Structure 1
Amino acid sequence: MNKTKWWLVVGLIILFGGIGMSYLGEPDFQARWLWRWERLRVYAQGILDPVEPPPTPLPQPAIAVTRHPTPTQTDNLPQATQPTPTSTPTPLVLPSAITLPAPRWERQDINNCGPAALAMYLRYYGWEGDQFDIAELVKPQRDDRNVNVDELAYYVRTRAGWLNIEYRVGGDLNLLKRLLAAGFPVMIEESFYFESPFYPNDDLWAAHYNLLTGYDDATETFISQNSYYGANLKVGYADLQRDWQTFNYLYLLVFRPDQAQTIRDLLGEDWDIEANRQKALELAQNESQTDPQNAFAWFNLGTNLVYFERYPEAALAYDQARQIGLPQRMYRYQFGPFLAYFHTGRMDDLMAIVEYALKRTPNSEEALLWRGWAHYRQGRLQEAVADFRAALEQNPTYSDAQYALNFVLGNP
């Protein structure tokens, strides 16, 4: 190790230790100290092993589309069926401003924006829990840095079953306003930027769940209950549109069972999951053509193509996104490229991005899972089993890793 770097790391440890001692008398000392220690650890790692940009695509090999083994049991992709007819939303004259009653605000714990935002959302309907009740199920390890939307939906369906939850992609600002005007808060996933770096060369980008409870056309802002920054914050229409694109315009809706028909009417064709995905695919196709240097437009195109099992096309779309340049933490939150490269036999590309993901997020159960599948395809059975078991250590409820382990051990 370079002596200068070594002494710098030692100095940082002493500095943060002193800061930690200054908080010993505070009630929330443990949370504050753990957060500072995590920042120190990541920053020191960034000094010793500097962060590089995400890898660009390797020279493309011949594509060999595969179907077996099915790498996860939750990636149930659509069959070729006709969408169920749904009513088209009746055009409404929306009020110029809406402010829904804000649920009691809750500051998120470390890496806990999903459970915190969902807790506030459920509280809108009278639920009495908090983010830690949700996190106990969906992220039993406190340092798990990502909670997927399907995990949040699973919590509502199994632990708050007196409420319904649906999530869709390809949303737009007018849809958000329609839902809010009808009395429904909306939870979205979007880009987030840290105020200070976690390591040298940090691009500051991350993901964040946000709860919207109103809008105002006069100021062109939404009202958000942001678990990181505070309650009743104003977010500009243009800013939200830009940051929301990063996650395929994903939105979540929680509602009472007796409100299901109202939600169905508000969503119209988007109620049908197949039709909704097709709409999102067409939107991504359009955005990738009108703004060809937008990496997120290409990434969304790949993600929607993966949904329809169009893996060769998806891989090419992800290639384009990677060539333009993606944020350093992208593979912490989105895993479509893992499926696309696996199903097109591009194990070198798959291995390159999962190794990069694990460098950024060593405890990512999703990256461990897909490195295991890459090892399996390469004939490295022991390494595959080790990765699947490591993924289960990080999240014992991770059914995809348990499925993978059972599959590989049953098919040595």
Structure 2
Amino acid sequence: MRSLHGEPAVDTVPGLTAGPVALAWLTQFLVGTDLFVVAPLLPHIAASFGISPAGTGLLVTAFSVAYVVASPFAGWISDRRDRATVLVVALVLFSAANAGTALAPGLGLLLVARVVAGAAAAATGPTVYALVSTRARPRARAQTLAVVGSGLLTALWVGAPAGSLLGRYAGWQTAFVILAAGTLLLAVPHAVVWRRLPVPATAAPPREPRPGRPPGTGVAVAGVTVTTLWAFSVYSLYTFLAVALHADGRATAVTWLLVVYGVGAVLGGQLGGRFADRGDPVRVTRTALALTAALEAVVALVFSATWALACALGLFAVAAYAFFPAQQRHLVDLFPGRATALLSWNNSALFVGLSLAGAAGGPVVHALGYPALLYLGAAVAVPACLVARGRPPRTLGKEERP
């Protein structure tokens, strides 16, 4: 069955089965757990090396900086080489870095191991997303990306706490040994699965051609800038939530409020992916950003009332995380031949926004209080909503490389 343009009809394009999606999900979960587990393990690491917790905070910075710097380069390589091979090499390197983290005799080598881990993680996430997006059914691309991305979100509220408990009772090194073993084992099926799944002939639903040149660098920069603003808005709330609750005498509420937030984030990702596949991804991103701004202000207003805060946090997470899979689909549709590179830039933009939120949030909370930071985050989401624009090209994109 063929379309009017002579291409295979979209409905006949084979999609992904549960196996490859589960493999991609598990990969994102383990990499995400490594990303999020370091912060709660910092006191144990500090005690192990006889240094202050503030000094071990460099481990988080080293990982994040390495990720931001390496991600665009890793995406560039992945779009020009066999993506499955790039992913396998990255997972093996990631495993070695985690083993090095567990075995490091001092802070210097520990920092080196975290830099290597950050660089390897920069190659895993976007490559996994690109492999999935180019093989998913076009009409289910964003939803599939959302399912895979939920592995990262699940690590936020399941993997990291589990690793923290493991570090408390079995030693912080144990958590990294398990992560090293897990990612090394995942490299084997990744080396086989993606080569058995050919890239479909069509990368987007058939549409009437649209005149004009393909989108250029300016469109890509504008797109990832939106992600930076979104990340600042979202992570200014998340990063300092536990600190603010502790300072307010509500430390016992931290765990279950974070669970509410995590469940809302997973649900939001699924809804965002579904709506982006059924309509215009840009409309979904703009709607999500507008709701993010409004609900972040609501969280600030009800912060002192715990149950109202729980409801507002859940709704905020649903709205905020609906943005990401829609944004990923938008970028892949715009640049199908450079999918990994654009997703890499997008992930770097996320880390830049997260880092800016951490850097600016501390002084704001100290001087004006946590609700003031939330109002700032809500204000930042407004220009993000205005910048988010443009539609994917209407031509049938073709993936250039596996």
Instruction: Return the TM-score normalized by structure 1.
Output: 0.23
Instruction: Return the TM-score normalized by structure 2.
Output: 0.24
Larger Rg, first or second structure (1 or 2): 1
* Greater share of residues in strand: 1
Structure number with the bigger relative contact order (C-alpha 8 A, sep ≥ 6) is: 2
* Greater share of residues in helix: 2
